[in-house]
Amino acid sequence: MTAVPRILDELARAFGAATDVTPAPGQPLHLLLPAMDLPDPWRPSPARVLTTWGDWPSQRPLFFIDQAVVGESGDRPRSHSLAYQLGEPWVAFSFAFAWSGHDPVRAVQLWMTRFVTERS
């Protein structure tokens, strides 16, 4: 199985659904996770998550969250910025975590720890 169907299949099984929304041939794989459960106090939950897989597995994917996501104080995650992807704004934010490996599910899980460790 090539990388694209494998990543799509693994993320769909782990997170309930994943859709290939890559805008054009030759562009990095863009996968939409339409209903990612977020931990309290982050809302709305579930929320949409967009991932882009430009140089996988050499580099971890890029992650974006629906712009409606806020914490208990009504704020977005720290160090965020709006990023225009697929014709709409998404929230990107800096979150460093060590990465190595070939497991796309683990990459998403590590990124999601941001919502566990941070409260707004």
Q: Which two tokens stand for residue 64?
A: 């974006």
The contacts found for 27-35 with CB under 8 angstroms, 24 or more apart, are 28/52, 28/53, 28/54, 28/55, 29/3, 29/4, 29/53, 29/54, 29/56, 30/85, 30/86, 31/7, 33/108
Domain boundaries, given as residue ranges, for the chain: 3-117
pLDDT, position 73: 87
The per-residue pLDDT for 69 is 93
Work out the pLDDT band at 120, boundaries 50, 70, 90. Answer: low
Please tell me the total number of residues recorded for the chain in this structure: 120
pLDDT tens digits, residue range 41-87? 999 999 999 999 998 888 889 999 999 999 988 888 877 889 999 99
Average the pLDDT over 6-23 and give the result: 96
